[in-house]
Structure 1
């Protein structure tokens, strides 16, 4: 029973962490275009590690990730990564500032450039926590590591309360899963 409960709690915890990621379509319905006011578009958004920027644009444009200096001068010759396929996503994998420009320098000078500040995801596991978390496929102990001197304190796994064919553990895990999924929609 403890093993089932631990696996269930870890699964629900993992789901709540992944539900916080957001995919932002840059420029919303206007897309990555010279007519889009990208500075205004970013004003009401909070970008965190785990989110993704999706650029949608016509064949007249491209998107390049650049350094701050290249962003400020609309320098499109020294890019970190670039795409011209019209549907490009950039995952936000680390906190800090990210800079994007259109590959057409005149479009960039006309305002077709984007600066986003990426914050640390407060719901994500820290490196220390992640190191201590069980890896996928890891086996959990099937019995306590120490023996109990008091046999009456040990509850056999077959003593799970079952009502109508459904175990209480299943009901609790189902309820916790429902609450976790509801919280995802509220965030």
Structure 2
């Protein structure tokens, strides 16, 4: 049985869009992201003027480094679709805007209805809390969690096989 998953589009920044914070905002981009649940297939809609959105790694996010993005969204109105689960990092492409707070971390989860295949895991988002409050939103992240999950999966598969064999031999 195949179940269709519903994808949602989230507008970053609400009515004002993707803009440099002025200090009068009621919440940061990361506070907004922490209130939402993003799944594979969902998308972010960025609307902006005289700017761009850079998809970067954790180090570039932390350091507001605009020099070597993974991907660049430009042209004022763009949609970014999440094609995997894990963490995604976005910063403004305009120098100085990221340091002012125009940056966003999104945690994408596997949608239960879409968990038929085995999506590739994302790289580890961070090794420890770097003071941006991310741990307060999602809790501390275990080191090498992908490896631990894989080992646990193999163990549970083997244990299940042993139990089936024991049942058949009874």
Q: Which blocks of at least 5 consecutive residues in structure 1 are unaligned? A: 1-9, 129-187
Q: CA deviation at 1:125?
A: 4.4
Q: How many residues align?
A: 113
Would you say 1:44 and 2:35 are equivalent positions?
Answer: yes
Higher helix residue share: 1
Q: Which blocks of at least 5 consecutive residues in structure 2 are unaligned? A: 119-170
Would you say 1:55 and 2:55 are equivalent positions?
Answer: no
C-alpha distance in structure 1 between counterparts of 2:58 and 2:98, whole Å: 13
Q: CA deviation at 1:29?
A: 1.2
Task: Give the ranges of 4+ consecutive aligned residues of structure 1 lying more than 6 Å apart after TM superposition.
Answer: none
* Cα RMSD, aligned residues only: 1.6
**Alignment partner of 1:32 out of 6, 14, 18:** 18
TM-score by length of 2: 0.62
C-alpha distance in structure 2 between counterparts of 1:105 and 1:64, whole Å: 11
What is the correspondence of 1:22-171 to structure 2 with a 5 Å cutoff? 22-35=8-21, 37-59=28-50, 61-127=51-117
Larger radius of gyration: 1
